Amino acid sequence: MTNPLETPSGPDIARLIFIGASTTEGMGDKDRIGWPLRITQDLPYTTGIYNLGIRGQTIFQIAKRAKSEIGDRVLSYDQSRIVLGAALNEIARYGNDTRDPRFDPDDILHSYRDVIDRLVQMAPLLVVGPPPVRAAQMPFFSQLNQCWFDYQAKDISWLDDELHKICKEKELPYISILGPLGADQAYMSGLKQRDGLHSNAAGYVSLANIVGANKQWKQFICP
């Protein structure tokens, strides 16, 4: 049986850098490796893997740190790769009254365009879309912020569609995980066992398998 994470032979990548929020970080994974380290397990040991996910961050915060954190890790344009994992925090309906969006949708898309433009100047970029949540467990109470966050399916679907359009316009690879993960029993079961927003180790295995089997990922790793 073919390993879904197996990639074709090709030149080594010196450094592979993941940036995003809690799902990129791997929050909820008891093994503490998330999907970035799972999806890279078959890459040569000479490839440096950097997980720059920070839980709770919005795309506005990610944009502020992207250049400084990634710039020092990029060796050269052809030897490095960057993966941007779309976050959910900026599209949450936030506070004790969760009816209204946390940020203006136009501002969110402007910031995504900005960070994508910055990243592509440093190294080849692949964008992974936002993951699903479990609607039955929303709204979600954040112990960190001490308030409610409501993540709605229509908002996540909107972000997924808009990011796909942006990447298509800029001729960048984009992997939508919303539908495949929403239909994945392990991922959704992991959400149910936890907070409805972050899956467990088995869920992150599914996420890695789905991205790793995608032709966009394989072409990105071995162009």
String of DSSP letters for 74-123? ---TTTEEEEEEPPSGGG-EESSSTTSBSS-HHHHHHHHHHHHHHHHTTS
Write out the two tokens for 87. Answer: 């976050």
- Which of the four pLDDT bands, split at 50, 70 and 90, describes residue 7? very low
- Which of the four pLDDT bands, split at 50, 70 and 90, describes residue 126? very high
Query: Do the Cβ atoms of 190 and 181 come closer than 8 Å?
Result: no
DSSP one-letter code for 131? P
Query: Do the Cβ atoms of 115 and 62 come closer than 8 Å?
Result: yes
Query: What phi, psi does 5 have (nearest 5°)?
Result: -95, 0
pLDDT score at 58: 96
Distance of CA 42 to CAs 45, 46, 145, 190, 215, Å? 8, 11, 38, 25, 16
- Which of the four pLDDT bands, split at 50, 70 and 90, describes residue 3? very low
pLDDT score at 9: 42
pLDDT tens sequence across 51-106 = 999 999 999 999 999 999 999 999 888 899 999 999 899 999 987 776 788 899 99
pLDDT score at 8: 40
pLDDT tens sequence across 17-59 = 999 999 999 999 999 999 999 999 999 889 999 999 999 999 9
DSSP one-letter code for 136? G
Name the average pLDDT for the chain: 92
